[in-house]
């Protein structure tokens, strides 16, 4: 049990989608902790995500790259962290298909750099230390019509993204076994919510509906994902960080499976209502496009372990979470404008003009 002893926690990738929700939760819930956001601010990192808490006295931002061991060393020496929550990653499957090596560098080598730093700086005393690695359900590969991923499902990654995350999980586990580093891993299903970068299905489609642009559904649209509201993932991370057991893995998911096309139709309906459009307006934008290569048919997480052992469960229904998410995007058009200018335009062209 890793109780309230830690006072200095480095959260990597804290300027990204999930990381920013984790940083906010820890900064506001634990005023006695020092929370250090270590982020390289890639296209996906955005300090606007943290405007509301950036002046908190227990929050520190360090622009640092996990590919650079000197950067990591500097942060360890400055803050002497006793906890690491590692979210920094290249996270988008389509980009991993365009550019696999970027994923090997950041997700595999970046993670090993961080493990090396923890090993080196904690070598004399790993008591009350914790290296918490945030991973994905995609490492387990694809499911057929039935069944769930459990913590003992064999790894079978199918995309360069999931292969890089699987590799990083293996390194984390190996450092736990070989060097007795106090590691813990969680594998979570698809997140959605405010601050989600509009390259992923839900925010991309919300943005396109707002701009009356086509909604590019891959393949037959019958691929299934298990969706979880990002704040429920952040709450699970808080719980696992404080109450999880060293060397354990926990799966996190919403028991909330949706076929893409059903989700897109629900999104269209909610958007029509909120924008005051006639029913059916947004659905007309649905356009079936070429499938994603190696597209995993179905993901579904069995979250029994975290629920039974740590008492976690999601706090909102999908309809509530999705409605809150849409409202956030409708109220944050400046945020959307900023993140969809520049590099986003080139990526969009490359990905969707094929």
Point out which residues bind ligand NAD (CB under 6 A). 12-13, 15-19, 39-42, 44-45, 65-67, 87-89, 91, 106, 110, 134, 136, 165, 188, 190-191, 197
**Catalytic residue list contains 220:** no
**Catalytic residue list contains 161:** yes
Taking the chain, what is the end-to-end CA distance rounded to the nearest angstrom? 51
- Residue 341's contacts (CB-CB under 8 Å, 6 or more residues apart) are none
Residues 254-293 that bind ligand DAU (CB under 6 A): 260, 292
Catalytic residue, candidates 82, 138, 169, 257: 138
Catalytic residue, candidates 2, 33, 59, 161: 161
- Residue 346's contacts (CB-CB under 8 Å, 6 or more residues apart) are none
Size of the site for ligand DAU (CB under 6 A): 19
Q: Quick one: 159 or 282, whose CB is closer to ligand NAD? A: 159
Q: CA–CA distance from 231 to each of 211, 236, 276 (Å)?
A: 27, 9, 28
Catalytic residue, candidates 62, 71, 137, 199: 137
**Structure-token match 């005023």, residue found:** 31
What is the DSSP secondary structure assignment for residue 300, as one 8-state letter?
-
Q: Quick one: 176 or 198, whose CB is closer to ligand DAU? A: 198
Supply the minimum distance, in Å, between the C-beta of residue 199 and ligand DAU: 6
Could you tell which of ligand DAU, ligand NAD, none binds residue 232, using a CB distance below 5 to 8 A set by kind?
none
Around Cβ 165, how many Cβ atoms within 10 Å? 29
Backbone angles phi, psi at 42, to 5 degrees: -75, -170
Could you tell which of ligand DAU, ligand NAD, none binds residue 40, using a CB distance below 5 to 8 A set by kind?
ligand NAD
Q: Using CA atoms, how far apart are residues 171 and 251, in angstroms rounded to an integer?
A: 18
Supply the minimum distance, in Å, between the C-beta of residue 219 and ligand DAU: 7
Tell me which residue has its CB nearest to ligand NAD. 16
Nearest to 36 by CA among 9, 56, 13, 7: 9
**Catalytic residue list contains 128:** no
Q: What amino acid positions are annotated as catalytic residues?
A: 137-138, 161
């Amino acid at each position: 049990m890793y109780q309230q002893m830690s006072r200095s926690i480095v959260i990597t990738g804290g300027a990204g989608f999930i990381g920013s929700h984790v940083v906010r939760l820890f900064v506001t819930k634990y005023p006695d902790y020092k929370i250090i956001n270590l982020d390289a601010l890639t296209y996906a990192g955005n300090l606007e995500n943290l405007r509301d808490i950036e002046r908190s006295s227990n929050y520190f931002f360090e622009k640092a790259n996990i590919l650079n061991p000197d950067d990591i060393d500097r942060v360890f020496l400055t803050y002497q962290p006793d906890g690491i929550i590692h979210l920094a990653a290249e996270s988008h499957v389509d980009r991993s298909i365009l550019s696999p090596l970027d994923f090997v560098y950041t997700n595999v080598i970046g993670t090993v750099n961080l493990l090396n730093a923890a090993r080196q700086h904690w070598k004399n005393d790993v008591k009350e230390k914790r290296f918490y690695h945030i991973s994905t359900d995609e490492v387990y590969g694809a499911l057929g019509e039935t069944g769930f991923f459990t913590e003992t499902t064999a790894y079978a990654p199918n995309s360069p993204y999931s292969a890089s995350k699987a590799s990083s999980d293996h390194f984390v586990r190996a450092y736990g076994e070989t060097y007795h580093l106090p590691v813990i891993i969680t594998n979570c299903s698809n997140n959605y919510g405010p601050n989600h970068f509009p390259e992923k299905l839900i925010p991309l489609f919300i943005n396109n509906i707002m701009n009356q642009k086509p909604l590019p559904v891959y393949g037959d649209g019958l691929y299934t994902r298990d969706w979880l509201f990002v704040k429920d993932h952040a709450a699970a991370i808080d719980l696992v960080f404080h109450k999880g057991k060293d060397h354990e893995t926990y799966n996190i998911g919403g028991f909330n499976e949706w076929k893409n096309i059903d989700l897109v139709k629900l999104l269209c309906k909610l958007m029509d209502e909120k924008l005051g459009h006639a029913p059916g307006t947004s659905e007309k934008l649905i356009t079936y496009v070429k499938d994603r290569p190696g597209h995993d048919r179905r993901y579904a997480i069995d979250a029994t372990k975290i629920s039974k052992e740590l008492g976690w469960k999601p706090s909102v229904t999908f309809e509530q979470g999705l409605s809150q998410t849409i409202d956030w995007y409708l109220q944050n058009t400046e945020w959307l404008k900023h993140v969809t200018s520049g590099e986003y335009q080139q990526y969009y062209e490359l990905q969707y003009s094929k």
